[in-house]
Structure 1
């Protein structure tokens, strides 16, 4: 007999608690062991019921979801899935929740009565099952990250004047990640100095509306400029371009120019993903860049494997993979490592150092 994973549902809406519980209980691998109407009650129920996964709303009375996640991660860390509103404010608080230690999020439909749609139910169940199997929860809190960021050696180049340095672009660092990625990127991008002659292109599996908030948050923490990519953005050194949700990102030669730019595509999802890591990696094969560094980080599935194989074979790209113990989900790095194409396998906190080393000597 399969032992069911225990789920706690936290939401101030009785309607949402009931609907989410019904969805979860419809899967014979899961069982809702309790519900709570705010973070304070949630913490008490977590201690009492010891659930495997917690789903939580953010905006709640008495104690909101962010306060609850912060306390939980400092005391008894458990996988938390955020049920997020699809608004600018909702996106900002969702990114904050991921920063505090939530492993993933689910967007509420604009009409909450549509939460019972099959597509939404499937997404909720898949993400809960994934979360229930997570063993490596984020271990480093944001206070330490901010403290470490202060130790980055700053230089005199201002972010606003980065276009003056376009002629020094020599190398591309392409990063692919998924579940656990928003927090993992905070342990990589803030440690990269903007004087390196490289641009950074990033695919983070995320729905539309959230990558802008993620970019803004990472930009505020980083020495390099981090932005949500726009179509025809010219690639400059010291700038990281994050694929916007629901768009593939490709790197192509700019028209009548020696520059390269970003092209965004709404072509069909590849293996269920848009943006797709494979699409980004494969687009680099058609460029004149010979110094390409590919980085594959925490995430479910195998997106990025095919593209990295092609980059290794056709461009002799240098491949950096995140090691298992520091991954929230070890799917994407595992596929690359087991294929034997990773040049180095390092823990999360050493990826930035490895990027700097390779860019400087590659």
Structure 2
């Protein structure tokens, strides 16, 4: 069996040696080269075509973020980031995940004497996952999230004369006649063919900077004739999108023949939107102490909501959450509870970054806080998040728990979903998106049997890793299978039409 080629990138000779030794100790891997900065990393990637790259964030000449963007534009390759547990480190790590990095590990910190052997074991495990996904075709490199103007962010570093690699090509225009992804913010007509799936990332933005919430679609493989994903476990073709048993629809709540979800009657525009007008996005502002952050007033949410959305995700989740949350309007009449598998501190940076792009408020959940509509709550890393009814009022509150990890995860998607069982006073909409493993499948199955309105699994065509959604589909937990760009519009339609 041939070894997988690994490129190790770090400005510290000591760390290059340590990580190279740990990687080489596994016969499945061969360290084909090392690089001391981002420029060398791009050159080595083009010359040697490694199977996977480990990339430090802070380096001279060209930092890890800029190198990542160039690599994903020139030769898309799975990249695992080495992140320092600092405020800047966690923020840059979240950005790297949205630029296209497959995962990250926390870099050993000499000041707190982290177990470097444990870090090495985690790195080897993530390397195996990365190469397995890449070789099996279960890993998809989606277009990177485009940046908002950021006054405090450094300008991309110029390439010194004599560089040996070309400039990244401009992003290609979508093929003529191929529609762009659906959006709820006055985007072009929705695409029924999942054009958000990508065989490679988009290049850096051309001089005319596009809307930061818009991504150009990449080519996708043709779907089955009926446009629906099919299970592959038993080799039999069977639809994964049965219609929910609901009363006969009215003209206003007609269902889509393909997905079984509510749709609106024909309108002058082809983009399906709720009847009420969407809130206009405020211009981005940058308060002190938060690069790229926008000023957002306290939410005008209501604690007496009738609907609740719960989302579980893991590997590939930051970009998937970006797609869903940024397409929810500011007056979305339901709270959104989110479990993203991620260590402590990183979930706070994830919440802050998603908040800066979204119309709804996005925050890291706090123990005991009242849950409000129009707000997304991300479970803190290292804590289970549960929903509980306030015994002294009709409100619901967040409960954070230090209970033992579930299936190796804390926070656990199953733990969140199980806390929603018995909440018959709420119309529950459950979503499982990209990620390794099966967390969330059993909880979703129990909620479907408990009368949840909607249970959605992300379709394989758009998953970065088709693990958690596959488990939900195979268990019979998912009543609907939707591509990533279809999830937010479906939630808006379901919640709006049933919000009576």
* TM-score when normalising by structure 2: 0.68
Q: Is 1:148 paired with 2:151?
A: no
Residue 271 (structure 1) aligns with? 407
Contact 1:58 1:84 in 2 (8 A): yes
Please state how far the C-alpha of 1:286 moved relative to its aligned partner: 3.7
Q: 1:334 aligns with which of 467, 470, 473?
A: 470
Q: Is 1:217 paired with 2:379?
A: no
Q: 1:345 aligns with which of 472, 477, 481?
A: 481
Residue 446 (structure 2) aligns with? 310
Q: Is 1:109 paired with 2:108?
A: yes
Residue 48 (structure 1) aligns with? 47
Contact 2:429 2:452 in 1 (8 A): no
Residue 3 (structure 2) aligns with? 4
2:25 and 2:281 map into 1 onto residues whose CA distance is: 58
Contact 1:38 1:62 in 2 (8 A): yes
Does the C-alpha gap of structure 1 residues 65 and 255 become closer, same or farther in structure 2, counting only changes over 3 Å?
Answer: same
Please state how far the C-alpha of 1:139 moved relative to its aligned partner: 2.4
Pairing 1:185-264 to 2, within 5 Å after superposition: 185-264=321-400
* TM-score when normalising by structure 1: 0.93
2:37 and 2:140 map into 1 onto residues whose CA distance is: 23
Please state how far the C-alpha of 1:131 moved relative to its aligned partner: 1.2
2:323 and 2:374 map into 1 onto residues whose CA distance is: 17
Comparing 241-250 and 19-28, the one that deviates more: 19-28
Residues 108-140 of structure 1 show CA distances to partners (whole Å, capped at 9, x for unaligned) of 132289566443222111111111123433322
Contact 1:203 1:277 in 2 (8 A): yes
More strand by share: 1
Contact 1:77 1:137 in 2 (8 A): no
More helix by share: 1
Pairing 1:278-297 to 2, within 5 Å after superposition: 278-297=414-433
Pairing 1:39-118 to 2, within 5 Å after superposition: 39-111=38-110, 117-118=116-117
Does the C-alpha gap of structure 1 residues 234 and 113 become closer, same or farther in structure 2, counting only changes over 3 Å?
Answer: closer
Please state how far the C-alpha of 1:154 moved relative to its aligned partner: 2.2
Residue 129 (structure 1) aligns with? 128
Pairing 1:313-324 to 2, within 5 Å after superposition: 313-324=449-460
Does the C-alpha gap of structure 1 residues 197 and 19 become closer, same or farther in structure 2, counting only changes over 3 Å?
Answer: same
SS at 1:340's partner residue?
A: coil
2:278 and 2:133 map into 1 onto residues whose CA distance is: 35
1:118 and 1:306 map into 2 onto residues whose CA distance is: 34
Please state how far the C-alpha of 1:328 moved relative to its aligned partner: 1.3
SS at 2:335's partner residue?
A: strand
Residue 166 (structure 1) aligns with? 303
Residues 198-231 of structure 1 show CA distances to partners (whole Å, capped at 9, x for unaligned) of 1100000000011111000000000100000000
Contact 1:176 1:297 in 2 (8 A): yes
2:131 and 2:323 map into 1 onto residues whose CA distance is: 24
Does the C-alpha gap of structure 1 residues 192 and 244 become closer, same or farther in structure 2, counting only changes over 3 Å?
Answer: same
Please state how far the C-alpha of 1:335 moved relative to its aligned partner: 0.3
Please state how far the C-alpha of 1:246 moved relative to its aligned partner: 0.1
How many pairs are equivalent?
A: 359
Please state how far the C-alpha of 1:159 moved relative to its aligned partner: 5.4
Does the C-alpha gap of structure 1 residues 30 and 254 become closer, same or farther in structure 2, counting only changes over 3 Å?
Answer: same
Residues 139-194 of structure 1 show CA distances to partners (whole Å, capped at 9, x for unaligned) of 22323671439x99425999535346333x11111000001101111111000012
Larger Rg over CA atoms: 2
2:114 and 2:40 map into 1 onto residues whose CA distance is: 24
SS at 2:310's partner residue?
A: strand
1:140 and 1:281 map into 2 onto residues whose CA distance is: 30
Q: What are structure 1's unaligned runs of at least 5 residues?
A: none
